[in-house]
Amino acid sequence: MANLLSKFEDRIPIGPIKEAALHKQVPIHKHSIWYYMGGISLFFFLVQGVTGVLLLFHYQPGVETAHASVLRIMTNVDFGWLIRSIHSWAANLMVATIFIHMFSAYFMRAYRAPRDFTWYSGLALLGLTLTFGFTGYLLPWDDMAYFATKIGVDITADTPIVGKELAYILRGGEDLGGLTIQRFFAMHVVILPAIFSMLLGLHLLLVQIHGNKVPDSIEERKAYRKIPFFPNFLYADLFVWLIAFNVLSILAAVYPWPLGPEADTLAPAPKGIHPEWYYMAQFYVLKLISEPIAMAFFGLSGLLWAAVPIWDPTTASGRRARLATYVGIATLLGFIALTLIAYATLDAGP
Ligand code: HEM
């Protein structure tokens, strides 16, 4: 075995990677549980890759074929319903864990230099994940998918300057149709995975280089110890992945992901059309206030959020640090409250 390994290392020298992994230490303290969140997001992404490829073997994009092929996957393909259910559940759990991961990195102030590029690359991963969700939602071409995407693309069209062109490119014309499915499909299975994988590589490399951030209050008191990443923390990571896998399997098997009736593009939009839960807060704000003001609000608050390494750059806990904490709490509570109100008022109409 040792001989085989050394032959392998002659061809592909993995020494430096092994060295880095062996030297990485993970701080252990009362907030260490948040260090698992990035890993769980990674786990769900891997699940998406595997189940997505299996779905690709049967899914057929196109106005005539999309819905029928998903129906066939659910009724005629062995375990097709389970694979589709896992893919849909894991997508939602991935978004949820990425949000938790982002907020925990934020509250630990892991966005500060030298981890600011880890923060920016993470934000790009979040943007890509939300786009994965948006493009995937349309693919089954059922009622909800069609009308929710129509609303989403119409909102895109109102973005200043580039909106109209962008919406035209997304739709492949003036209306949602075969070309829209084709383009969303291309983004979902080729463009997004390619960009995502490269960015994820960068993100993980930066985490490897800079190590995990210890929250300031714990760092000051030196109230932590360190354990080796390999194998100690990796085993703990894998154990958490096992729990995530169990939760995912139970949800997917007990609550199979539903499929609505095929989209009728000539019928009026049925009541209660809504996007996925992670777009509900924005969806509600757009109902409340006029679109240009809502767009300006999203743009500015997004910019403020992304730029936190610039406006709270120091390690000292001063006025800006406190402001960052208040901004974080307000954003988190605001997002949860708006999402809940959006669901509660769903059928009330605009
Ligand atoms: C699929 C998306 C993502 C994956 C797979 C991922 C993966 C990871 C992993 C495995 C770690 C190391 C363990 C940990 O601290 O949790 C990490 C750290 C980090 N991630 Fe992400 N991440 C993703 C998205 C994001 C997002 C959306 C942000 C924030 C905008 C972000 C910001 C960070 C930061 C700042 C760190 C360093 C944390 C520290 O030093 O303690 N990541 N990420």
Would you state the pLDDT for residue 150? 95
Would you state the pLDDT for residue 347? 67
Residue 332 forms part of a structural domain: no
Residue 49 forms part of a structural domain: yes
Residue 320 forms part of a structural domain: no
Would you state the pLDDT for residue 316? 65
pLDDT tens across 178-204, in order?
A: 999 999 999 999 999 999 999 999 999
- Residue 222 identity: K
Q: Which domain holds residue 219?
A: 31-269
How many domains does one find in the chain? 1
Q: Give distance in angstroms: CA of 38 to centre of ligand 1.
A: 5
HSE-up of residue 327 (Cα within 13 Å, Cβ side): 18
Residue 308 forms part of a structural domain: no
Residue 275 forms part of a structural domain: no
**In this structure, which residue's CA is closest to atom 22 in ligand 1?**
38
- pLDDT surpasses 70 at 253: yes
In CATH, what number is assigned to the domain containing residue 250?
1.20.810.10
Among 99, 203, 226, 234, residue to substitute to test ligand 1 (most atoms within 8 Å of Cβ): 203
Say how far apart CA 83 and CA 81 lie, in whole Å. Answer: 6
| Ligand 1 nearest-atom number relative to CA 41 | 5
Say how far apart CA 106 and CA 311 lie, in whole Å. Answer: 13
Q: Give distance in angstroms: CA of 266 to centre of ligand 1.
A: 44
Is 101 touching ligand 1 by the criterion CB < 6 Å?
yes
Whole-prediction pTM = 0.94
Among 35, 100, 101, 103, residue to substitute to test ligand 1 (most atoms within 8 Å of Cβ): 101
Residue 261 forms part of a structural domain: yes
pLDDT tens across 125-153, in order?
A: 999 999 999 999 999 999 999 999 999 99
Is 109 touching ligand 1 by the criterion CB < 6 Å?
no
Say how far apart CA 229 and CA 89 lie, in whole Å. Answer: 29
Would you state the pLDDT for residue 1? 82
Residue 150 forms part of a structural domain: yes
Distance (Å) of CA 317 to CA 182, 215, 224, 293: 51, 11, 19, 34
Residue 107 forms part of a structural domain: yes
Would you state the pLDDT for residue 346? 84
What separation, in Å, do the N-terminal and C-terminal C-alpha atoms of the chain show?
67
Asked if residues 199 and 207 have their Cβ atoms less than 8 Å apart, the reply is no
Q: Give distance in angstroms: CA of 126 to centre of ligand 1.
A: 10
